């Protein structure tokens, strides 16, 4: 997800699709075919600015936010958001759920055909997370 230039964020097919799904919160529907045309699954990741050029056609802009795990779990304004992981995967975080003393991240896997909401423990999430959200 990070390119040759220091801190240059790269966007692959999965991340672009996650970001596009979160645009529905703003009343903008971007279908999978549109994402496929610009960010094909077999193409190498593209610079973040190309994602924003794609979104600008819909009068939107994605922001990259560096955020701590404590702020992430306490700030509802960031949800839903696209979350890149260190392993190259991406999810759509929907919110934080507290069960007793434990916290869980509710999320969607954008490639899950059934679009089921899933949960992952905050500790497990933190191991995979890059501390950034879109």
As given in the structure block, the two tokens for residue 130 are 């890059």
Could you tell me if 133 and 78 are in contact, meaning their C-beta atoms sit under 8 angstroms apart?
yes
Structurally, at CATH architecture level, domain 65-133 sits in Alpha-Beta Complex (3.90)
d(CA 110, CA 116): 10
Residue-level pLDDT at 7: 56
Average pLDDT across the chain, whole number: 90
Domain boundaries, the chain: 10-56, 65-133
11-26 residue pLDDT tens: 999 999 999 999 988 8
Q: Which helix (H) or strand (E) holds 130?
A: none
Contact 107, 92 (CB under 8 A): yes
Gyration radius from the chain CA atoms: 14
Tell me how crowded residue 31 is: count the other CB atoms within 10 A of its CB. 8
pTM of the model: 0.87
Q: pLDDT tens across 84-107, in order?
A: 999 989 999 999 999 999 999 999
Residue 71 CA: distances (Å) to CA of 45, 63, 95, 121, 123: 28, 16, 12, 16, 14
Dihedral of CA 127/103/69/44: which sign?
positive
| Cα(128)–Cα(124) distance, integer angstroms | 7
């Amino acid at each position: 997800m990070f390119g040759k230039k220091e801190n240059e964020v790269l966007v692959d097919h999965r991340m672009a699709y996650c970001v596009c799904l979160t645009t529905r919160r703003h009343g903008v529907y971007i279908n999978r075919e549109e994402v496929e045309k610009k960010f094909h699954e077999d193409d190498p990741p593209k610079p973040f600015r190309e994602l924003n050029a794609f979104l600008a056609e819909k009068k939107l802009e994605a922001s990259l936010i560096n955020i701590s795990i404590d702020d992430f779990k306490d700030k509802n304004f960031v949800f839903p958001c696209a979350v890149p992981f260190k392993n190259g995967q991406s999810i759509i975080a929907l919110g934080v759920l507290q069960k007793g003393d434990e916290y869980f991240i509710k999320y969607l896997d954008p490639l899950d055909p059934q679009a089921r909401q899933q949960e992952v423990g905050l500790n497990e999430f933190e191991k995979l997370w890059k501390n950034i959200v879109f």
